[in-house]
Amino acid sequence: MPKKQYLKQKVLERVDELPAKNSKEEFKQGTLPETIVASEVAAAFKFAFEYELEYTTLDGPKKTKASREIPIVFLDKGFLLIGYCTNDIEQKVLEFIEKNFVHGVVLNPIKFQERTLREAIENCPDVSQADIEPSAMKRVDRISCIGRGITDSEFWEDYGSEPLRMVKVNVSQLPEEPNVSFRKNGVITIHNTSFTLDQQVMVLNYVVEKIIGPYLQEIHLQTKLV
């Protein structure tokens, strides 16, 4: 996102101004101010929205309202990350952010290049999973290897130069040594399910700064037509 538009205090103030509970829409949506995390490197919070849910009863199908929460992280270095979701929900979240936080810019999801996954391995050589796309194998789309020290294995000798689809590494440089995976579609997964939102923010900040940041710097932002 355009770094010049990001001021942490402004983001936090805006979160307080847009609580979902005050929404006037039929299906409420907005921020959850009680989830705010303001650290030295980021501002994070959760976006919530209601949707219609149909369920089956003995009297036939009925409808009710349900809700969903998506974490949003503004990193001080000018990067934006949102919780993983389906394409339609992703678009809803991005439209909310564009309207209320980042004006005049189209927020397009980013996919990783091969070198981004290689950089993850270079930075964190303790690899516990690698999914590759074998170029010479017919009718085989993916080969997955799970274990320890994969880059020192015979598997890596045979297939390590093939295109990568996903890698999972141990980030030993951080105190909690989180397990993090990177996928070509741009999804980063922190596999430590007990991590709090502020712990996740710390991990994501490290990942962006040390691993994928150089690639993301090359992205050209698309401005909206006025």
pLDDT in the model for residue 207: 93
The mean pLDDT value for 115-124 works out to 92
The kind and range of the H/E element at 156 are helix 154-159
pLDDT in the model for residue 211: 87
Distance CA 68, CA 206 (A): 27
Mean pLDDT of all residues belonging to the chain? 90
pLDDT in the model for residue 144: 94
pLDDT in the model for residue 226: 43
Q: How confident is the model at residue 38 (pLDDT cuts 50, 70, 90)?
A: very high
The mean pLDDT value for 216-225 works out to 55
For 142-157, the pLDDT digits (tens) are 999 999 889 999 999 9
Asked whether residue 161 carries a pLDDT value surpassing 90, the answer given is: yes
| pTM, 2 dp | 0.87
pLDDT in the model for residue 97: 95
pLDDT in the model for residue 156: 94
> What is the per-residue DSSP string for the chain?
--GGG--HHHHHHHHHH-BGGG--SSS-EEEEEEEEEE-SSEEEEEEEEEEEEEEEETTEEEEEEEEEEEEEEEETTTEEEE----HHHHHHHHHHHHHHTSTTEE----PPPHHHHHHHHHH---EEEEEE--TT-TT---EEEESSSGGGSHHHHHHTTSPEEEEEEE-TTSTT--EEEEETTS-EEE--TT--HHHHHHHHHHHIIIIIHHHHTTPPPEEPP-
Worst-scoring range by mean pLDDT, 79-88, 108-117, 209-218? 209-218
